Amino acid sequence: MYTYSPKGTCSKQIIFDLDAERRVHNVKFIGGCSGNLQGIGRLVEGRTADEIVALLKGIRCRQNTSCPDQLAQALLPYTSGYKPEEPKQ
């Protein structure tokens, strides 16, 4: 089980599992709009982290992010193309 603390959204925590193929399972959002977030969890069930990031990254709501975007941010380190950002000087 992995836990991520979203930034800039109503949800306070995202919990998910990853299998050996980086497929996502059991996504749960703590806080936020329950119905919509349950729907997101069901729609991403069994998809790879790469697929989910491609679908959800960049979706905006308040504060220039959204719960779907924050799920993508949570999964980004588990994608095949992840590269950490360069430190700002």
Domain ranges of the chain: 2-78
pTM higher than 0.85: yes
The pLDDT confidence band at residue 43, using thresholds 50, 70 and 90, is very high
Collapsing DSSP to helix, strand or coil, 79 comes out as coil
Element (H, E) at 44: helix 34-44
For residues 43 and 52, is the Cβ–Cβ distance under 8 A?
Answer: no
The pLDDT confidence band at residue 65, using thresholds 50, 70 and 90, is very high
Element (H, E) at 3: strand 2-4
